[in-house]
Amino acid sequence: MVELVWLIPAFPLLGFLIILVAGRRLGEPLAGLVATAMVGASFVVAALTYFELLGMDEKERSHVETLFSWVPVGDLQIDMAFLVDPLSITMCLFVTGIGALIHLYSIGYMHGDPKFSKFFLYLNLFILSMTLLVLGSNLLVTFLGWEGVGTCSYFLISFWHTKEANATAGKKAFVTNRIGDFGVMLAMFLAFGAVGSIDYAVINDSALAGTLTQATATGIAALLFLGAVGKSAQLPLYVWLPDAMAGPTPVSALIHAATMVTAGVYLMVRINPVLGAAADWVPTLIAWTGAITALFAATIALAQNDIKKVLAYSTVSQLGYMFLAVGTGAYVAAIFHMVTHAFFKALLFLGSGSVIHGMHEEQDMRKMGKLFKFMPVTAGTFIIGWLAIAGVPPFAGFWSKDEILLYAAAESWALYAIGIVTAILTAFYMTRQVVMTFFGDQKWGSLANEAEAAHLNDESDTAVETDGAEAEAIETVADEELVTHGAHGEFKPHESPPFMLIPLVVLAGLSMVGGIIQLPSIGIIPKNAQHKLLDWLHPIVEFGEEAEERGIGEAVIKGTTANDMKITLIFVAIACALVGIAAGWAVYQKKIAKPIEPAILERGWGYDAAISWFMGKPGRAGFDAVATYDSKVVDGAVNGVATLVRGVGGQARKAQTGYVRQYASIIGVGVVALLGWFVVIRGIL
């Protein structure tokens, strides 16, 4: 099955082509079923490959399947080749698995949309690109997938492009990603210049063997990190992710929770030998960027009112955790968190999509409440996702988050502190979201009655306190919308169709048991159930004699205080999760204290506004300067050459007086001169 690994991208490609040609004829829901079947087939192939790899000996699990020679140009030999090893198959498994579930969900969610088949066209293209990205055996195939997912992200975010805001969001995503792509390209050039190849095997081997200089390794690692920052929405390039919520919810679930944004983390883990060979400031930078992003995004999520925006900032925050793990050398923890995050975040997004669908496209949480009894399945699965992300054992999120915090503590207690605070905030804002949506006060009108609406207005005014005049302005706008909602009669939120509920249930199940793939090595857990993911992945991330001597996994941090306090740290993490949940419950459900949601948090610390201002004023000045330089200096030089030639020509044409006699005299003088040269200088004629 390893030789047939090319089927994994081939199936979505086939789906893409079928829908491209016959999509409109297939119509709804056949186009969706075709797309889902293709991705499902990819998942089956991935699973079979996984079992085959499992059966092989640990040392032989890395294969390169070459399809054809893609760029054979002199020294540069790049093949379209796939690298089949535990890391890429792990990524493939959850990409295609969750992808298939989301395809199934979309059949229900996009029901009735006029561009139904186009949606699945783009979704299949996305899965194709993502599988290329993770399966690529060299930087160029990965980059092909990288750009592909960026393009599909653009297509899908601006899917309902007739609304200007959606189109702008798509553009923003693409442009911000581009900045990161610049880093990836430079890294490719650097790698080729240094080692003469862009194959991962060659680069990683050269980093391990020490032939890669520290400067080059630093350069490559830093540049690829720049790409990862763009793709995985870290500071300072995270701005596209919240705006990307303008796309349909399945898109947010697939691309911006489970797969595309994890591409950056995957890339970092793939080149971990280069990271190891780089200067120390690179991993430290990665870790601190991840930690600060996590905290930053968590604070913003506290004050968001759109159900999807909370989840968007939450994604940025969790990605920050993954980069924190990468930066501290805990690659396995990063991948573990990536997998569990994919489960529960996709679950949360799909659940929110179900809520939006049931509330007839209402996305503001301030107009929801008490939905538990109307959408029980959605609520139940959402709650499971909530517990997972908050870090409550035995749900999946707890195990992965705890491992990341352990490694962070081993590196620096400051990082650990940031991680713990972020964990508390995560629990808090997720509780807030759950309460505002499923419990709490009912804020949606069931009767299209003005009196009723006015009564509800008063309620919502007192229930939600806000600071500042701008918040009041927002509130008045919301009031108007409250009245017009459900104006066609009796409005009741309804549960979603089975197409949408099945994936929710499956993902909920995975979120519950997902933790078993990497259980920590604590006494109470049986030895052969411990850190299975580590055993699976360690040839990729920890190898060589050094690793064999000291052991793998937690052996790296053996001897640090953190390792000794492992059990304590676990209990601290559980305590923080429970504290966060309790605080959220107290503030929002029991209304013991007033909720503090400063307007500055809602505006994302003014980051977006700052960028717009910067681009508008100094940025624009800079651009104008560059444009002026281009038109004056560069164009001036080019045009100047032409002008110079014209000027010289203009002067030279004064010799053409039109008088034949003058021409004759010049000829004559020339003759004399020639004669003179012959006679005088060369002797006789």
Q: Give contact residues for another protein (rule: CB under 8 A).
A: 653-662, 664-666, 668-669, 671-672, 675-676, 678-680, 683-685
What is the token pair recorded at 94?
């959850």
Tell me the CA end-to-end span of the chain in Å, nearest whole number: 91
Indicate the residue among 642 and 685 with the shorter CB distance to another protein: 685
Indicate the residue among 623 and 678 with the shorter CB distance to another protein: 678
β-strand 76-84 against 63-73: which pairing, if any?
Answer: antiparallel
Q: Quote the least distance from Cβ 140 to another protein, whole Å.
A: 57
Q: Quote the least distance from Cβ 621 to another protein, whole Å.
A: 47
Indicate the residue among 211 and 662 with the shorter CB distance to another protein: 662
Q: Quote the least distance from Cβ 639 to another protein, whole Å.
A: 24
Q: Quote the least distance from Cβ 662 to another protein, whole Å.
A: 5
Indicate the residue among 625 and 645 with the shorter CB distance to another protein: 645
DSSP secondary structure of 350-381 = HHHHHHHHHTTS--BGGG----TTT-HHHHHH
Contact 591, 416 (CB under 8 A): no
d(CA 265, CA 284): 15
Indicate the residue among 614 and 678 with the shorter CB distance to another protein: 678
Indicate the residue among 373 and 661 with the shorter CB distance to another protein: 661
Q: Quote the least distance from Cβ 678 to another protein, whole Å.
A: 8
By three-state DSSP, how is residue 72 classified? strand
By three-state DSSP, how is residue 487 classified? coil
Indicate the residue among 17 and 669 with the shorter CB distance to another protein: 669
Contact 576, 423 (CB under 8 A): yes
Indicate the residue among 76 and 672 with the shorter CB distance to another protein: 672
Indicate the residue among 629 and 678 with the shorter CB distance to another protein: 678
Indicate the residue among 25 and 653 with the shorter CB distance to another protein: 653
Q: Quote the least distance from Cβ 681 to another protein, whole Å.
A: 12
Residue 333 has φ and ψ, to the nearest 5°, of -60, -40
Q: Quote the least distance from Cβ 652 to another protein, whole Å.
A: 8
Q: Quote the least distance from Cβ 651 to another protein, whole Å.
A: 11
Alpha helix ranges (H) inside 212-271: 214-231, 240-243, 249-253, 263-270
d(CA 349, CA 511): 13
Q: Quote the least distance from Cβ 655 to another protein, whole Å.
A: 7
d(CA 135, CA 91): 9
Angle (deg, nearest 10), helices 263-270 and 116-135: 10
d(CA 154, CA 143): 16
Give the 3-state secondary structure of 162-221. CCHHHHHHHHHHHHHHHHHHHHHHHHHHHHHHHHCCCEHHHHHHHHHHCCCCHHHHHHHH
Q: Quote the least distance from Cβ 663 to another protein, whole Å.
A: 9
Nearest Cα to 234, choosing from 149, 282, 294?
294
Contact 49, 5 (CB under 8 A): yes
